[in-house]
A and B are shown apart, each in its own frame.
Chain A
Amino acid sequence: MMVFWYEIKKVFARAKYESVQYLKEHKDELGVSKLDDVSMGDGDEVFVTKQIKEAAVKVFGLLEPYTHSLADMEEPMEAFEWDITYDEKEHCVVFRMIKTATMSATILPLMENAIENALVNYALGKFLPHNSIDGSYFMAQFNNNYEEILGYINRRKGLKRTYKLY
């Protein structure tokens, strides 16, 4: 079994930070940065957390085909859990999936990274248009992450070439 878990507050903190970095160069007609007006602040946490959950559900949709037998395990497990305490950390989102025999174990850090990026980029892509800022850059990034995740879970070590062509 593979488990991916993220502290929701940390995902929010990263989205907040990225919004600041992105918006500090967005200027109004007088050349003044829109940083304070439209960046993500602590007051936006409830709204942004909803977007993070939406992204998490979308990501779970990709992992779902590998979760069916979790219910048949000795200790049945939930494949997707939102806002739970995991590993003594509060407010976590947890994804669990079955690791098949031919699945490469080295995809773990790749998947971990791609899922976190997907959550952050989706939250930003949805948040910015509400502040009249084009969020399409982040949505495009999210779509990339989405395809990456799909690519990683479809890697099989049985197909790996063991020799070099050149």
Chain B
Amino acid sequence: MAVVINENDLVFTYTFTVLNEKVQQLSARAAQAMSPAEGVVMVDKYAISDDEQDTIILKMKEAADQVFQYFGKLTYGITNAITKTDSSVELKIKKETGGNPNAPKEVDGVIEEALVNYILGEWFAIKEHMAQAQVYATAFNMNIREVLRLSAELRKPAI
């Protein structure tokens, strides 16, 4: 996760490498904790591996759309505010002159968490483990609320 604070804008960047590592680790952890079917722990079935990279890239881009849409008003006047490639997703927003200087770092952390939770929610839905998918969907929803709460801090213009 990274946020670069420029004079007039803020740039949030999330690389596939970092997101992939997190979802791999967390999905393996969740799979390990699931009740074993036929006496076998289902890590192989549910844990995300390197073989699933294409799906994770696809879902990373989808997650970016889902999260970045809540910053629409702050992208006014910025060309190509959202950039999505196979290796990263990036959001550029306007920097309000009176905004809370500590907010960008907090927003950065929450965006990353939201991206991870979205990917995991989708992953477990694909794998038809709806209970686990719901856990991440709820966490994602909480992240979005947090994003909106914090983004109010970014929007305080100088009066």
Contacts and interface: CB of A to CB of B under 8 A. Distances in A.
A31 to B, nearest CB: 7
Interface string A31-75: 111011101011100000000000000000000000000000000
A32 B152 contact: no
B159 A10 contact: yes
Contact of B77 (A13, A16, A30, A42): A42
A41 B73 contact: yes
B76 A36 contact: no
B157 A13 contact: yes
B71 interface: yes
A16 B141 CA distance: 26
Given A17-B156, A17-B157, A20-B156, A32 B74 contact: no
A39 B73 CA distance: 8
A20 B94 contact: no
Interface of B: 69-74, 76-77, 94, 98, 141, 144-145, 148-149, 151-152, 155-159
Contacts of B149: 24, 33
Nearest to B70: A36
A100 interface: no
Contacts of B155: 16-17, 20, 39
B77 A14 contact: no
Nearest to B154: A20
A81 B75 CA distance: 33
Nearest to B158: A13
B74 A41 contact: yes
A21 interface: yes
A20 B70 CA distance: 13
Interface residues of A, number: 19
A35 B74 CA distance: 11
A24 B159 contact: no
B76 A42 contact: yes
B82 to A, nearest CB: 14
Contacts of B74: 36, 41
B16 to A, nearest CB: 26
A24 B73 CA distance: 14
11 contacts: A16-B157, A17-B156, A17-B157, A17-B159, A20-B152, A31-B141, A32-B141, A33-B145, A41-B74, A42-B77, A43-B77
B159 A32 contact: no
Given A14-B159, A16-B155, A17-B157, A32 B148 contact: yes
B81 to A, nearest CB: 13
Contacts of B145: 31-33
Contacts of A41: 72-74, 76
Give the 6 A-B CB pairs with smallest separation, nearest first: A41-B73, A13-B157, A33-B148, A43-B76, A42-B76, A24-B152
Nearest to A14: B159
A35 B151 CA distance: 9
Contacts of B70: 35-36
